[in-house]
């Protein structure tokens, strides 16, 4: 039995196979080790990868990009609405993608689009191994809610894969570098810095005897590799104005420039300058321009600052300083940018910056190593298997109203709390009140609190509220009368 690890990101996907005690990324049929997570629908076929991405120039309305942003989310979720405003493929309520092929309209669920990508990953692995593949470990972000994890699992299973486990992306990155697996004792702290195509994620991990614990994580969907590409594309559009043509409002021309800018950006990570050529950019006019690395860094200076700004704040939130970090792991293709690496090294001048492995392959490799452990290929006993401790990805709070009528939030479960966990809270109402209610909220690092549930009681005014957060992220709230110990209300809220 062979096992694989898959990392499905917003902009790309990668598959690694575990064989002969090693995990290796395998190339797709185009010879690329990274496959664009883009699905194009045409008549009776579905195309995944480079061809689908390049076809956006003329088939953008039927091309699904960044499907990961929609997985497991409701139509009215802010991230879903943001996705709707950014994609050319119409998103309808539930949500569904509206696909028009010929005279027919069909509606594609995000899970079905993700299933096509997982199927491509499975076929890539099977082609490399020459045998059937079913066992997989899938990497997911730390902040994924239970509904998102379920949608990811369902998509993989729909592609004919048996999901052995969902592993957090930062834990997979640590496994890929074998961090904490050679020693049975000793505590260390690792910062995992991930800059993917569509978002930035910074996570502080505690490693102790092979156990990984997430202390806190910060995700910023407003900055990613595409942000740098867009900045360069806008510069190229300005350069093209020398031909007296403004293409900044021409969607098709800008897509062509984005493709050219993306290739130039990757070249600038290795070379001091890069040539960008776009065939027939506008009105049959070809465009060619040379961009230096210094010019690129100048264009993206604000993005670089924004990319490293969350690091210190995240460390402060868990009571650590830069000197407390033992290692920094870079993952995500955009961490190849030399300027970004330099800025991170300046923050951690005395810390090992792990960047020797391809950063856009790292998470898939870690997932494959976990898959290998689960199917027992390397002969390790169960007691030696690395463990990932489930923790709360958000702060869990209760809201009350004090005597002056002001709202007061009390944090019962800070983010990073190992799960399952139980907390008690005494709630006392004044005798003039007809009821007492307790509101349960979740709060991300950089977002306002979001209500999960309200428990209202019309009889008891002195309650002992018990909040239990299970490993699957569900929250159970029960209220018991202090004097008699009689349970009055039980409510269950599931984080969305």
For the residues of 417-456, what is the DSSP string, one character each?
-BSSEEEEEEEE--TT-S-EEEEEEEE-TTS--EEEEEEE
Beta strands in 141-266 (DSSP E): 162-168, 187-195, 200-208, 211-220
CATH number of 391-492: 2.60.34.10
Predicted confidence at residue 66, as pLDDT, reads 96
Residue 377 has pLDDT above 50, yes or no: no
pLDDT tens, position by position, 232-266: 999 999 988 877 678 888 888 999 999 999 999 99
pLDDT tens, position by position, 80-137: 999 999 999 999 999 999 999 878 899 999 999 999 999 999 999 999 999 999 999 9
pLDDT tens, position by position, 432-444: 444 556 788 887 6
Predicted confidence at residue 491, as pLDDT, reads 47
Annotated domain spans of the chain: 27-162, 183-220+304-356, 225-298, 391-492
Superfamily of domain 183-220+304-356 in the CATH hierarchy: ATPase, nucleotide binding domain (3.30.420.40)
CATH pick for 27-162 out of 3.20.20.70, 2.130.10.30, 3.10.590.10, 3.30.420.40: 3.30.420.40
Single out the residue of 113, 106, 136, 103 nearest to residue 48, CA to CA: 113
Predicted confidence at residue 492, as pLDDT, reads 47
Domain 27-162 shares a fold with domain 183-220+304-356: yes
262 close to 56: Cβ distance less than 8 angstroms: no
325 close to 188: Cβ distance less than 8 angstroms: no
Q: How many CA atoms lie within 13 A of 161 on its CB side?
A: 33
The model carries a pTM of 0.79
- For the CA atoms of 40, 4, 389, 145, what is the dihedral angle to 10 degrees? 20
Distance CA(392)–CA(371), nearest Å, equals 24
Phi-psi region of 23 (alpha: psi -120 to 50; beta: other; left: phi over 0): beta
Encoding tokens for residue 92? Answer: 């309808």
198 close to 11: Cβ distance less than 8 angstroms: yes
Predicted confidence at residue 227, as pLDDT, reads 96
Distance CA(336)–CA(176), nearest Å, equals 17
Fold of 225-298: Actin; Chain A, domain 4 (3.90.640)
Predicted confidence at residue 27, as pLDDT, reads 96
Most confident of 152-161, 232-241, 437-446, 457-466: 152-161
pLDDT band, very low/low/confident/very high, at 307 (cuts 50, 70, 90): very high
Distance CA(198)–CA(83), nearest Å, equals 11
């Amino acid at each position: 039995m062979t096992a694989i690890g898959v990392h499905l990101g917003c902009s790309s996907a990668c598959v690694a196979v575990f064989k002969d005690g090693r995990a290796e990324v395998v190339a797709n049929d185009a010879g690329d080790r990274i496959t664009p997570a883009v699905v194009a629908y045409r008549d009776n076929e579905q195309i995944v990868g480079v061809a689908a991405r390049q076809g956006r120039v003329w088939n953008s309305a039927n091309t699904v990009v960044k499907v990961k942003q929609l997985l497991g989310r409701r139509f009215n979720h802010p991230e879903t609405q943001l996705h709707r405003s950014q994609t050319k493929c119409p998103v309808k309520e539930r949500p569904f993608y509206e696909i028009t092929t010929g005279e027919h309209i069909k509606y594609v669920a995000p899970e079905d689009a993700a299933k096509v990508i997982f199927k491509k990953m499975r076929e890539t692995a099977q082609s490399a191994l020459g045998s059937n593949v079913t066992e997989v470990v899938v990497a997911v972000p730390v902040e994924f809610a239970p509904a998102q994890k379920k949608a990811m699992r369902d998509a993989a299973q729909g592609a004919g894969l048996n999901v052995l486990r969902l592993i957090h992306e930062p834990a997979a990155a640590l496994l890929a570098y074998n961090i904490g697996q050679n020693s049975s004792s000793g505590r260390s702290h690792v910062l995992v810095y991930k800059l993917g195509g569509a978002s930035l994620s910074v996570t502080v991990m505690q490693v102790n005897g092979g156990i990984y614990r997430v202390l806190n994580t910060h995700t910023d969907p407003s900055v990613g590799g595409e942000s740098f590409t867009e900045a360069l594309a806008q510069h190229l559009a300005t350069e093209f104005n020398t031909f007296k043509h403004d293409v900044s409002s021409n969607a098709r021309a800008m897509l062509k420039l984005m493709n050219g800018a993306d290739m130039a950006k990757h070249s600038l990570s290795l070379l001091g300058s890069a040539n960008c050529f776009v065939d027939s950019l506008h009105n049959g006019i070809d465009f060619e321009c040379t961009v230096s690395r210094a010019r690129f860094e100048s264009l993206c200076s604000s993005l670089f600052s924004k990319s490293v700004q969350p690091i210190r704040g995240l460390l402060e939130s868990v009571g650590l300083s830069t000197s407390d970090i033992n290692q920094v792991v870079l993952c995500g293709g955009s961490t190849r940018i030399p300027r970004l690496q330099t800025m991170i090294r300046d923050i951690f001048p005395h810390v090992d910056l792990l960047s020797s492995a391809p950063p856009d392959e790292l998470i898939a490799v870690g997932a494959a190593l976990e898959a290998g452990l689960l199917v027992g290929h390397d002969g390790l006993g169960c007691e030696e298997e690395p463990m990932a401790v489930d923790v709360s990805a958000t702060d869990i709070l209760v809201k009350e109203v004090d005597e002056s009528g002001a709202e007061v939030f009390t944090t019962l479960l800070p983010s990073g709390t190992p799960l399952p966990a139980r907390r008690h809270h005494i709630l006392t109402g004044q005798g003039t009140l007809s009821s007492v209610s307790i509101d349960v909220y979740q709060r991300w690092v950089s977002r306002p609190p979001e209500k999960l549930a309200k428990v209202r009681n019309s009889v008891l005014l002195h309650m002992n509220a018990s909040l239990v957060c299970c490993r699957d992220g569900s929250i159970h709230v029960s209220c018991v009368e202090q004097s008699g110990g009689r349970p009055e209300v039980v409510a269950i809220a599931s984080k969305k």
